[in-house]
A and B are shown apart, each in its own frame.
Chain A
Amino acid sequence: MLQPYATPLEKLWFYAFRLFCIGVLVFLILPLLVIVPLSFSADSFLMYPIHSFSLRWYEAFFTNSEWMDSLKNSMIVAPAATLLATVLGTVAAVGLTSADFPGKSFMMTVLISPMVVPVVIVGVGAYLFFAPLGLANSYLGLVMVHAALGVPFVVITVSATLRGFNPNLVRASASLGGNPVYTFFRVTLPLIAPGVISGGLFAFAASFDEVVVTLFLAGPEQTTLPRQMFAGIKENISPTIAAAATVLILFSIVLLLTLEWLRGRSEKMRTAASAA
């Protein structure tokens, strides 16, 4: 808020600061937005200026079997990887925060490492390891590596949520006869659900836009949407890519709004819990 008694320097800072913030936001969003109008272009090239508008590239996207197959693959691999990552990551986070044992921080580091190690190395490593096992060129192999890439997100968000979790609630449940499994599903999980769900969304996003590991590990049968886009750019710069990208952006916005809604809900629950 600009105060009426602000000095000229303070006024300058007030406006400069806001301008800077807008600049940062534009810098982040503009590269995404540039692609959207192109998807509605009637021209055959991914280029500005746009001469006329049409939905022909959307038609091409939704009728081409290669694109549809890749979309289908993404819709198989990403949810499966998300499910696996969310379950394993949540269990790991609960275990790592509730108990104290030697090697705990080492274990945490190992779990987080897929996020730190360059993805190319993960891809090469996964290929060399999975190929002899017959897991290369298979959905299972791809799902497993994508899940490993998603686990760090789940572990981090769930651990963060558990830090604000009152351990007396678990004891209270036990004193009322609730065994550990019952306690987890009736008490712990409902209260850390916002963290689990946002971790799951991050894991989903990590798998959904993953190219590198897919390049190494997936056969033609398992081509995912990003992999298909990548191929599309290499071979022919068809504006179908713009249409696919716009669909993905829309999808991401829905994901982010869900995330924001969940965060708001968890915030409300947390303030309620801390006031209690």
Chain B
Amino acid sequence: MTSSPLLQLDAISQRYARHSVVEQLSLSLQRGEIGCLLGSSGCGKTTVLRCIAGFEPLSGGRILIDGQLLADARLHTPAHKRQIGMVFQDYGLFPHLTVAGNVGFGLDALARDARAAQVARMLALVGLDGLAQRYPHELSGGQQQRVALARALAPQPRLLLLDEPFSNLDVSLRERLGQEVRDILKAAQATAILVTHDQHEAFAMADKVGVMEQGRIMQWDSPYNLYHQPANRMVADFIGQGVLLPGEVCADACIRIELGEACSLRPHGFAAGSRVEVLLRPDDVAHDDASPLRARVAARAFRGAEFLYTLALPSGQTVLSLAPSHHDHAIGEEIGVRLDAEHLVAFAI
């Protein structure tokens, strides 16, 4: 797809006094895509969202939607003229209005009948029909979340922003609702940006994820690529688990590591003979009793369907390995391991 992006952030910066919150951040999102800004608290991800929504002015850079300039260092289109919906971390439901009143809030331009029909359609979309006359405080957290989503989607915004949408819900509800919200957004053909510190949430919901650190995006990519082809050590470290194993580049561009020759590598461009580090995810190291390479079980964590083993290689270097849960080995036991990886990624030391 080569169509122009719906949302484009062009090197945006945001500073309070001397303190820089967002620094030269760029990203673009296609129509219908769900993007996610992932980072620990204080990395500036919520500020980015507030800049897009129009609650914060930009110090530099440009925000474009549909090719139209929304904001730069001098221009600041007020929030109510942006047609950008938002779901707040605390939902921000109007306590004095019913569910129907909340969902219909942004539909004042419509005639009464059209408005009622749209409210009904939105409530059906989020599975809350029948609760239209309730007040927000009479609903559970998950229901309030859905009302907030329906309210934001009702005026058919050009873009939807979700600020830590699940952080106030308990974990079991979070996963289920995450999938549900993704389905709802896809059904509504909405373009959305989500902000979270939870990578499982990010992976479950988003098509594109940006890992943020100190106001910058380290990598803006699909969840698969973030996990298997992190752009740098920081992303590798932040996303998922794994270890960096030292190795040496051979003449044929393979890399020799303690687990053997790794040839299924991403193009790396390192010269033969250079010392590098290879990122090994737990699923890159397989348990195979036929393998001549032995490793000692140093620690293990039972996860139900699988074991996460920490294995000590003969050199003392440890790697992580995922094994089906019936491969039950005690700590101290020697087991056979083998490299079972596609597209490994290497970093310079």
CB neighbours (8 Å) of A182 from chain B are: 108
Interface centre among B80, B106, B144 (most CB of A within 10 A): B80
**Are A269 and B86 touching (Cβ within 8 A)?**
no
A190 within 8 A of B: yes
CB neighbours (8 Å) of A190 from chain B are: 96
Name the segment of A22-30, A170-178, A232-240 touching the other chain: A170-178
**Are B90 and A272 touching (Cβ within 8 A)?**
no
CB neighbours (8 Å) of B108 from chain A are: 177, 182
CB neighbours (8 Å) of A172 from chain B are: 86, 88, 92-94, 151
| Complex Cα spacing A206 to B105, Å | 38
| Complex Cα spacing A180 to B78, Å | 10
CB neighbours (8 Å) of A273 from chain B are: 95, 137
CB neighbours (8 Å) of A191 from chain B are: 95-96
**Are B86 and A272 touching (Cβ within 8 A)?**
no
**Are A276 and B137 touching (Cβ within 8 A)?**
yes
CB neighbours (8 Å) of A183 from chain B are: 80
**Are B96 and A175 touching (Cβ within 8 A)?**
no
- B54: nearest chain-A partner, CB-CB: A174
- A191: nearest chain-B partner, CB-CB: B96
Interface centre among B53, B83, B92, B135 (most CB of A within 10 A): B92
Interface centre among A177, A191, A272 (most CB of B within 10 A): A177
A168 within 8 A of B: yes
| Complex Cα spacing A63 to B336, Å | 110
**Are A178 and B105 touching (Cβ within 8 A)?**
yes
Within 165-224 of A, Cβ neighbours of B (below 8 Å) are at 166, 168-169, 171-180, 182-183, 186-187, 190-191
Interface string of B100-139 (1 = CB under 8 A from A): 0000011010000000000000000000000000011101
CB neighbours (8 Å) of B322 from chain A are: none
Residue pairs across A and B with CB atoms within 8 Å: the count is 79
**Are A269 and B85 touching (Cβ within 8 A)?**
no
Among B80, B90, B91, B94, contact of A179 (Cβ-Cβ < 8 Å): B80
**Are B155 and A176 touching (Cβ within 8 A)?**
yes
Category for how many chain A residues contact B: 20 to 34
A275 within 8 A of B: yes
**Are B95 and A176 touching (Cβ within 8 A)?**
no
| Complex Cα spacing A190 to B105, Å | 14
Within 48-87 of B, Cβ neighbours of A (below 8 Å) are at 53-55, 78-86
B226 within 8 A of A: no
**Are A276 and B144 touching (Cβ within 8 A)?**
yes
CB neighbours (8 Å) of B86 from chain A are: 171-172, 175
**Are B54 and A168 touching (Cβ within 8 A)?**
no
**Are B152 and A276 touching (Cβ within 8 A)?**
no
**Are B136 and A168 touching (Cβ within 8 A)?**
no
- Within the complex, what minimum Cβ distance (angstroms) separates A170 from chain B? 9
| Complex Cα spacing A269 to B135, Å | 11
| Complex Cα spacing A176 to B150, Å | 12
Within 130-162 of B, Cβ neighbours of A (below 8 Å) are at 135-137, 139, 144, 151-152, 155, 157, 161
| Complex Cα spacing A92 to B250, Å | 74
Interface string of B273-294 (1 = CB under 8 A from A): 0000000000000000000000
**Are A175 and B85 touching (Cβ within 8 A)?**
yes
| Complex Cα spacing A171 to B84, Å | 11
- A170: nearest chain-B partner, CB-CB: B92
Contacts A176-B106, A176-B151 given; does A171 touch B136 at CB 8 Å: no
- Within the complex, what minimum Cβ distance (angstroms) separates A165 from chain B? 10
- B93: nearest chain-A partner, CB-CB: A276
CB neighbours (8 Å) of B155 from chain A are: 176-177
| Complex Cα spacing A178 to B107, Å | 10
- Within the complex, what minimum Cβ distance (angstroms) separates B106 from chain A? 3
Chain A positions within 8 Å of B, measured between CB atoms, are 166, 168-169, 171-180, 182-183, 186-187, 190-191, 269, 272-273, 275-276
List the 6 shortest-distance A-B pairs measured between CB atoms, nearest first: A176-B106, A168-B92, A273-B95, A174-B79, A172-B92, A272-B137
Chain B positions within 8 Å of A, measured between CB atoms, are 53-55, 78-86, 88, 90-96, 105-106, 108, 135-137, 139, 144, 151-152, 155, 157, 161
Beyond A172-B92, A175-B161, list 4 extra A-B contacts (CB 8 Å).
Answer: A171-B55, A179-B78, A191-B96, A276-B95
What are 11 A-to-B residue pairs whose CB atoms are below 8 Å?
A171-B86, A172-B94, A173-B105, A174-B78, A175-B79, A175-B84, A176-B106, A176-B151, A191-B96, A273-B137, A275-B137
